[in-house]
Amino acid sequence: MRTDEEKERLMRERAASKLLSGPIKFLLSAPQLKFLPDAKFPEVAFCGRSNVGKSSLLNALTGRKAIARASVTPGRTQELNFFDVGDPTRFRLVDMPGYGYAKAPPKVVDKWKRLVRDYLRGRKVLHRNLVLIDSRHGLKDLDRQMMKMLDEAAVGYRVVLTKADKVKESDLEFTVMKVAEETKKHVAAFPQVHVTSSEKGIGIASLRAAVIEDALGSDWLES
Residues that bind ligand GDP (CB under 6 A): 48, 50-56, 98, 162-163, 165-166, 197-199
CB of residue 201 to ligand GDP, shortest distance in Å: 9
User: Residue 106: phi, psi to the nearest 5?
Assistant: -55, -35
| Closest to ligand GDP by CB, 54 or 158 | 54
| Closest to ligand GDP by CB, 175 or 197 | 197
Residue 138 is given by DSSP the state -
Distances, alpha carbon 34 to alpha carbons 37, 66, 113, 118, 184, in Å: 9, 27, 16, 11, 34
| Closest to ligand GDP by CB, 19 or 167 | 167
| Closest to ligand GDP by CB, 67 or 120 | 67
Cβ neighbors of 150 (< 8 A, separation 6 or more) are 120, 129, 131, 156, 157, 186, 188, 189
Asked if residues 133 and 52 have their Cβ atoms less than 8 Å apart, the reply is yes
CB of residue 73 to ligand GDP, shortest distance in Å: 12
Judged by DSSP in three states, 61 sits in helix
CB of residue 153 to ligand GDP, shortest distance in Å: 22
Judged by DSSP in three states, 82 sits in strand
CB of residue 202 to ligand GDP, shortest distance in Å: 8
Residue 206 is given by DSSP the state H
| Closest to ligand GDP by CB, 56 or 89 | 56
Asked if residues 135 and 162 have their Cβ atoms less than 8 Å apart, the reply is yes
CB of residue 54 to ligand GDP, shortest distance in Å: 3
CB of residue 136 to ligand GDP, shortest distance in Å: 10
| Closest to ligand GDP by CB, 123 or 163 | 163
